[in-house]
Structure 1
Amino acid sequence: MGQLQRDHTERQDWARGWAKLKEFTEREGHARVPYEHKEGAFPLGQWVAEQRRAYGAGQVNGRRAARLEKLGMAWTAADARFQENLAAARVYYQEHWTLCAPRSAAGLDKPIGQWLSNLRRPGALAEHPEWEAALKAVDEDWNPPWSTEWQRHYAALRELMRDEDGPAQVLPGFTVHGMDVGKWLARQRKPEVWAADGQRERLEQLGITPPAPAPEEPKVSAETSTAPVSAFERGVAALAQYKARTGSVTVPRGRVEQLEDGAEVRLGVWIMNQKSRRAKLTTDKLSELAALGLGWALEG
């Protein structure tokens, strides 16, 4: 009697699992149930994994196998391992926002970083397009045409800016998961580094653009230029301007004189420097200083 009761309970449990799988396949269009998936409160992913294990051990009768296959059940151990690793990869994605994990990364105690790296090898998924589709469903950029390191930094930046109304200021030193995202972003914005196709579009979607090039200063020929160009000429111009305004060439040491073009000259310090360098000044320069009223410029 006890055995009959156990058999009855087992049949009910199996029928419930099959019915939940049928609901899943009718809704999703396939029977690739993630290991961690629950259909309502029923742990459907674990139930499917157990059916694969039992099938491999010869413990699934022909009728049940046929009913499961009709729903699209895949029996191989490779499929089972893929689904379990995919579940671990989803956990990693939820925390890091990308499947471009470093090789040392783990999820649910599985080495998913190395697993994903293996799947990125050329031809690794040639016979399993459904696996690639499942990975893309988690992360469209799981296998980008650029480095996984670039993608990791971009994913972190994307999540940082997701809730911002405008471009966020992410400065060097701002780290996420041990990555200096601010330093990385500053490098991306350099004109000589500005991203390649694909990368550029992704950054622009976040409002990231390279800084505008500095405007070129207008070129003025030496013949028409009236602005002083050398430090000495700026000093002479500042002293002449100060004398015209005050009538004196006695300048306080801390005096700063602003020229018409906006340049600032520390005039008091400049005069002291010229005086200390008098022996090295040319005759023409000494004459200019003397003409402005600096008596020491005339000393023998």
Structure 2
Amino acid sequence: MSGEHAAELEELGIVWDTADAAFAENLAAVRAYFELHGTLAAPRHATALDRAIGQWLTNIRRPGGLGKGPERAGRRARELAAVDPDWNPRGHGWTVDWQRHHTYLAQLLTGGARLDDVVPGVTLHGEDVGRGLATQRRDFSKLNEEQQRRLDKLGVKNAVRARKTPAKATTKAGPGTGGRAFQKGLEAMAQYAAREGRLPGRGVVQVMADGSEHRTGIRIAN
């Protein structure tokens, strides 16, 4: 086909490569999504310009998803990166959800919110950014260095967990039930020792002045 014939057909709107044409249409939709959300870390159900760009972005992030041939795949990756350098968070080592929550947190702070005000229940674009922030603080040590660097830039630090102070053993018997029982045991043991001149054996039961019985032998053995 001559160049003249090809030009005439192109003037009529012929598309030589339908795959590239579909990519260009979806790329226009993701640009519209980015203008509204500031990120291409879209949830799978997201749409823009009547296109299911959330699912489309999920598909092209998969191995081989950018099409056959390294030249085509590289060109498409550059076009996406021109819209959002973080369009494929998996390449950085984290999830799409993490990227989206981080972006929305940054937008809230840029808009004037204080970090302490971003608590669970604070949302942006339908995402609970506050709950996401609480998770980042809790799992800070599990994140990779770049994630930690990005959060640190926003002022987010590792959550400090309060240490539980072990209860100290009571060394002095108080006036409670334990203290009274201890004193009664001492009294019974003293009575037996005064009478017998020795400490009671294991089977000794001492009768107290009030008529009650005290298993003095078992008590002292314990």
Does the pair score TM above 0.5? yes
> CA deviation digits over 1:176-203, x for unaligned, max 9?
2332221121121125754223221211
Match of 1:119 in 2: 60
Q: TM-score normalised to the size of structure 2?
A: 0.63
Is residue 54 from structure 1 mapped to residue 13 from structure 2 by the alignment?
Answer: yes
Residues 166 and 207, structure 1, Cα contact 8 Å, conserved in 2:
no
User: Which residue of 172, 181, 199 maps to 1:282?
Assistant: 181
- State which of 22, 25, 28 in structure 2 corresponds to 1:84: 25
Q: Which residue of 2 aligns with 1:93?
A: 34
| Alpha carbons of structure 1 residues 212 and 83: separation in structure 2 relative to 1, 3 Å | same
Q: CA RMSD in A?
A: 3.6
- The code of the aligned residue for 1:204 comes to D
- Show structure 2 runs of 5+ residues with no match: 1-8, 187-208, 211-222
CA distance in 2, matches of 1:201, 1:109: 36
Query: What does the per-residue CA deviation read over 1:101-126, in whole Å, with 9 as the maximum and x for residues that have no partner?
Result: 12221100011111111110112234
Give 1:170 deviation, angstroms. 1.1
- Residue deviations 1:47-93, cap 9 Å, x none? xxx9576243xxxxxxxxxxxxxxxxxx5333332222111111212
Letter in 1 for 2:109: M
Structure 1 residue 130, shift from structure 2 partner: 1.8
Alignment partners' CA distance in 2, 1:202 and 1:85: 29
1:143 aligns with 2:88: yes
Aligned equivalents of 1:78 and 1:53: distance in 2?
19
Aligned residue pairs total 173
The residue correspondences of 1:247-258 to structure 2 (distance < 5 A) are none
8 Å CA contact retained: 1:170, 1:181:
yes
CA-to-partner distance for each residue in 1:216-263, whole Å, 9 max, x for gaps?
Answer: 97x9xxxxxxxx944685x95xxxxxxxxxxxxxxxxxxxxxxxxxxx
Q: Which amino acid is the alignment partner of residue 140 of structure 1?
A: P
Maintained 8 Å contact 1:101/1:148 = yes
Q: Distance in 2 between matches of 1:177 and 1:216?
A: 38
Q: Distance in 1 between matches of 2:31 and 2:60?
A: 15
Distance change (3 Å), C-alpha of 1:178 and 1:166: closer
How far, CA to CA, are the matches of 2:148 and 2:129 in structure 1?
A: 16
Q: Percent identity between the aligned chains?
A: 39
Gaps of 5+ in 1: 1-49, 57-74, 220-227, 237-270, 288-298
Distance 1:98 1:199 in 2: 16
Question: Structure 1 residue 142: deviation in Å?
Answer: 0.8
Going from structure 1 to structure 2, the CA distance change for 1:186 and 1:84 (only over 3 Å counts) comes to same
Q: Which has the higher contact order (CA 8 A, sep 6+)?
A: 2
For residues 94 and 192 of structure 1, what CA distance do their matches in structure 2 show? 30
Q: How does the TM-score come out when normalised to structure 1?
A: 0.48
